[in-house]
Structure 1
Amino acid sequence: MPLLPSFSPLKYIGINSQITYAPADDASVTPTNSATSSDGLASSTLRLGSLPGDYTVNATCSECTEGSPQTFTATAKCPDVPQYYQDDYSDDYDGICKDYENLTSSGKPGVKTCALGDKTWTIAEKGCALASMGMVMERYKYPTPNTPDKLNDIFIKDIAGYDKKGSVKWYAPNVITGYGIQYQYDPTHFGKGETLPKSLMDNYLGKCMPVIVRVINPHTHNPQHWIVVTGKVDNDYTVNDSDLANKDLKWLSKYGDIYDIRVYKDPKGGCQ
């Protein structure tokens, strides 16, 4: 077997640095050394901006000779998305009641205005979108009560956060946070009964922006179930589901297709 040739590092070689492409905002790249060290190494300082977090930074060069460009790749560890379970809350949901005369496509009671003797819906039964919204709001760390029960109180008493059918108004966080969190309307996010490509989520997840999606609940077969997609790993996606019965389902592949997407942005910018 032939021996591999050995190489000695180039010591004390002068370095002339020129930044050909600078990061946006308050991020920057600053060369630290004017020459290679006794080990043949040199370094640069990469400032990622004002957002605190955990980062892995890799620096590469094509040939590492004079004039060879150096590329920095910074990979952020996204902040965790908290887990809320709607089953933990028996509060009345929006003061709406069950309509046993007009069932949904999945055979469940519909929604109607309450009359004497009617049975109300609870957060535990109908709060998947509410809980998903609360998880995303808490992820962005805005100082509002983001648990499903507290958010439900705000929706009912302060901002009329539900429509007549008891569905959440997706713009509600804009109002609650004073536009500290902003709903991102995009017509391509509405499936209108058709499936959506999961790749629509990738750009957001790459910026640490969790995505709320509508799926078919594998436990109840309800086609109006909302969960939070928290990240992408290889060709699958990690999820938080507010239905306690699905607490062991941590991958979107277990749910199949997605039918709608809802996204919120922190307008302060940077990695969300």
Structure 2
Amino acid sequence: MKQKTRKQLKWTGIIFVSLVILVLIVGAIFLNQATYQAMDEAQYLGDDKTVIKVDSGYLIEPDEVKANFVFYQGGLVETESYLPFVKALSEQGIRVFLPEFPLNLAILNTDQFQTLYDEYPSDLPWWIGGHSLGGASAAIFLSEDPQNIAGLLLLGAYPSDSSDLSEANVSVISMHAENDEIMNKEAYERTQSLLPEDTHFVEIEGGNHSQFGHYGFQTGDGVSTISREQQQAEVIATLVNALSN
């Protein structure tokens, strides 16, 4: 009887482990299929000599640096989708870090900023920012550890209810697109009270959620009436102006 019980337990354990492995495999396949892939022009930038692949992701360092910026990707969007944006930003004298995250979800490692801050010391200002879920993840880190951060850039994003930044001594830029149908507009309006009073709110006329990156059209988004390049140029101009002031 005891021998039979041991065999039953053994097979129960084998079946349980097999089911766990199966669930993980199916989950990984689902997440891979659900992830938005970078457009060709973004993928090609991975071979650009100015784009440096580092252990934590990508680093783009201009000849003359006037600030540092760590950018968190949108949820389930391939990291490389933001290479054109951050490369254009680096051409304005900003050293940009584009970290990679587990499963393309910045929420799984919100303190990636601290890792980069420690690995690449600089006395110049440090900003953090992100698109969509990446922006919310950046706000989470800022709310928990604001001491080394000079500013926050939110693109089609807003802080979670637990990320109260209203008293934070940082510059905040919150940019959304007029035709963004992905971002929850009610939550965007409601959480504005969680940001500092002097937050700079900007609406990009004609833009949409998808065009903050280079990953094609996101299902459910509104139609943009401006180019991807124009939308991202407005973001860069706004950020550079804030850094200059």
The reply to whether TM is greater than 0.5 is: no
TM-score in terms of structure 1 length: 0.24
Which one has a larger percent strand, Structure 1 or Structure 2? 1
Report which of the two structures shows the higher radius of gyration computed on alpha carbons. Answer: 1
TM-score in terms of structure 2 length: 0.26
Which one has a larger percent helix, Structure 1 or Structure 2? 2
